């Protein structure tokens, strides 16, 4: 199973201060050095973290395949066609949400999604649909011609431990069904070191896409070195 690292929240830190650092491109290079298999970035319509320029640089200047998360919106589809990432993951997007809240309504938006899947596929981009663990939605993804689905694991990951069994059953059933339909199965959202064990029970997984927990963990993994480095820099103070 592969790991795609979502580096959006490196850009969140940058945008919080309007600086040029931390650069998500540097983060991607570190991820590659650590053995990650792919980089995911979400170009949101409100550009709250990742910017257009980041997407171009992430495609050209780091070694891993880029998975561009995006809404099915004409202006963003145009950018995808210009950047040509290895993969596009179509997600629902609401301006006020803190993060992607649910899976795509593939049945409700079938016609417009079909056009987008067709034109991205013709450009040689693998199209993935970010969906809830729902069998009818999976069948609609198959009918759309999308080769890949990403199962939304957020409900499972955010649930209390005693509520997880039923949600895991749904994920397992969905993964089995997707596999039977010939779809490639990815999963993501809310995965961290505490809930990873459960996620590993989902069959047929190709890739896990994980962001927030890795970026949060990296803050503390780097904290002691960062403080030591600053203290060393202060040694030169002459008084």
Catalytic residues: 42, 69, 189
Using rule CB under 6 A, residue 210 touches ligand PXP:
yes
Site string for ligand PXP, 118-137 (x = CB under 6 A): ------------x-------
Between CA 8 and CA 209 the distance in angstroms is: 12
- Measured CA to CA in angstroms, residue 4 lies from 135, 147, 185, 200 at distances of 25, 18, 13, 15
Using rule CB under 6 A, residue 71 touches ligand PXP:
no
Stretch of 73-81, 162-170, 183-191, 224-232 contacting ligand PXP, by CB under 6 A:
183-191
Interacting residue with ligand PXP among 50, 55, 69, 195 (CB under 6 A): 69
φ, ψ of residue 117 in degrees (nearest 5): -60, -40
Give CA angle at 96 (209, 156), nearest 5°.
40
Using rule CB under 6 A, residue 148 touches ligand PXP:
no
CB 198 within 8 A of CB 164: yes
Nearer to ligand PXP by C-beta: 83 or 191? 191
Contacts of 144 (CB under 8 A, 6+ apart): 106, 110, 113, 114, 117, 129
Nearer to ligand PXP by C-beta: 62 or 153? 153
Count residues near ligand PXP (CB under 6 A): 19
Query: How much is the CA Rg of the chain, to the nearest whole Å?
Result: 19
Closest distance of CB 61 from ligand PXP, Å = 21
Interacting residue with ligand PXP among 190, 195, 198, 205 (CB under 6 A): 190
Between CA 135 and CA 182 the distance in angstroms is: 14
Nearer to ligand PXP by C-beta: 148 or 209? 209
Q: Which two tokens stand for residue 161?
A: 């431990």
Helix residue ranges per DSSP H, the chain: 8-17, 24-34, 52-60, 74-83, 110-122, 135-144, 154-158, 164-180, 196-199, 212-234
Write out the binding residues for ligand PXP, residues 39-68 only, by CB under 6 A. 42
Site string for ligand PXP, 85-104 (x = CB under 6 A): ----x-x-------xx----
Chain residues binding ligand PXP by CB under 6 A are: 6, 8, 42, 69, 89, 91, 99-100, 130, 150, 188-191, 209-213
């Amino acid at each position: 199973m592969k790991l795609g690292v979502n580096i959006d929240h490196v850009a969140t830190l940058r945008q919080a201060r309007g600086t040029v650092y931390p650069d998500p491109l540097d983060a991607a290079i570190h991820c590659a050095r650590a053995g990650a298999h792919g980089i995911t970035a979400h170009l949101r319509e409100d550009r709250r973290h990742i910017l257009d320029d980041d997407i171009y640089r992430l495609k050209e200047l780091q070694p891993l395949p880029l998975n561009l998360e995006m809404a099915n919106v004409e202006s963003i589809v145009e950018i995808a066609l210009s950047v040509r990432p290895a993969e596009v993951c179509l997600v629902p997007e609401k301006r006020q949400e803190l993060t992607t809240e649910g899976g795509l309504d593939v049945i409700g938006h079938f016609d417009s999604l079909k056009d987008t899947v067709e034109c991205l596929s013709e450009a040689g981009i693998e199209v993935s649909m970010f969906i809830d663990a729902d069998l009818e939605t999976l069948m609609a993804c198959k009918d759309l011609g999308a080769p890949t689905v990403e199962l939304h694991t957020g409900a499972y990951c955010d649930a209390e431990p005693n509520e997880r069994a039923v949600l895991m059953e749904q994920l397992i059933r969905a993964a089995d069904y997707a596999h039977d339909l010939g779809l490639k199965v990815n999963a993501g959202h809310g995965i961290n070191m505490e809930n990873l064990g459960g996620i590993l029970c989902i069959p047929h997984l190709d890739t896990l896409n994980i962001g927030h927990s890795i970026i949060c963990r990296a803050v503390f993994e780097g904290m002691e070195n960062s403080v030591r480095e600053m203290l060393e820099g202060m040694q030169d103070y002459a008084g």
